[in-house]
Amino acid sequence: MSKKDVIRARGEVTEVLPDSMYRVKLDNDHDALCVASGRMRKNFIRVVVGDRVVVEFSPYDLTRGRIVYRET
pLDDT in tens, 28-66: 999 999 999 999 999 999 999 999 999 999 999 999 999
Bridge partners of 21? 17, 35
Domain total of the chain: 1
pLDDT band for 4, please (50, 70, 90 cuts).
confident
Close Cβ partners of 47 (under 8 Å, ≥ 6 residues apart): 13, 16, 22, 36, 40, 53, 67, 70
Domain extent, residue 48, equals 3-70
Nearest to 64 by CA among 53, 55, 54: 55
pLDDT band for 1, please (50, 70, 90 cuts).
low
* CATH number of the domain that residue 17 is part of: 2.40.50.140
pLDDT at 72 > cutoff 80: no
Residue of 24 and 3 predicted with greater confidence: 24
pTM: 0.90
